[in-house]
Amino acid sequence: MKRRRQSGFTLIELLVVIAIIALLIAILLPALSKAREEGKRLVCMNNLKEIGVAMLIYRETSDNLPWTYVHNVLPDGTIEFYPGITFYSSYTWAGMKATLPWPGEESGDWVRVPAELRAFNKIVDPGVQGNQPVKIVQCPGDRSAVAPVMGQGQPDVQTEQSRSSWQAYGNSYSINWLFLNHEPDVSNFNAEDLFRVGKQICKEVIGGSASEFAIILENQLSQLLIEAEPTGGGRLGEGWHRRFSNHTMLFMDGHVQSRHFDTRFPGGAGWRVYREHGHADH
């Protein structure tokens, strides 16, 4: 009798199929990862566009920028901030009160100032309270948390951490206070100076200057720019959306860019994060 040939795949055929599937996965995974990061980048850009519109409204109603919560203004003009704060950061313009601070940062403003007292929240999320999240200031690509603190030096740039800036500080984005006056020594620049300089900037940085002057930065970009000078001194680094030296920022006129920025310098073609004293056009 003739033997019937058993139906099914041979071992070699199975191995060939598995190899083809593995090859297809290896080809598709980078493309899928890139598409996922592109989606996150677009969400981040949309967040900043919405913030830009609200920022223009805030400037019209307050003649300033949303720095942080002011607890009291004394008769001599001295500004008192939220009680118990010893660290001032560029986060409390918006967002939630952080509940998981890094060790030693319990007296930072991002830990103590609740969401309902943060200046910009009153426009973008007026009902928020305590440590409730404010989604518009959460970048989906946010994956590092290092705080640029007034009066301190250049922190190490962290590209991957267990917590994001949004988790650690309640806000993925830094408002540009490190470079407002292009101060050579940030330790001489006090928190109350922000309000004075902010009023000047709202009046002076107009027209073409506003389209180049960056005001809201993804936090890793703010980290990289610390100690940057016109002649160089900053650092290059990977952006949150896995494009080397590509970052997202909002400009004073309300437009958003996500592109290559040479962060070794505080300015370049079509952008800058500082203004010279009394010269808004430089």
pLDDT of residue 61: 84
Amino acid at 56: L
Q: How far apart are CA 118 and CA 136, in angstroms?
A: 14
Q: Are 165 and 158 in contact (CB under 8 A)?
A: no
Distance, CA of 172 to CA of 132 (rounded, Å):
15
Q: What does the longest C-alpha to C-alpha distance in the chain come to?
A: 111
pLDDT by residue for the chain (282 residues), tens digit each?
A: 455 555 666 878 788 888 888 888 777 767 666 778 888 899 999 999 999 999 989 888 888 888 877 777 777 777 778 888 888 888 899 999 887 777 778 888 898 899 999 989 999 999 999 999 999 999 999 988 776 555 555 556 666 677 888 888 899 999 987 666 554 455 566 777 777 778 878 877 777 788 988 999 998 888 888 778 888 877 888 888 888 889 999 999 999 999 999 988 888 888 988 865 444 433
Domain locations in the chain? Answer: 40-272
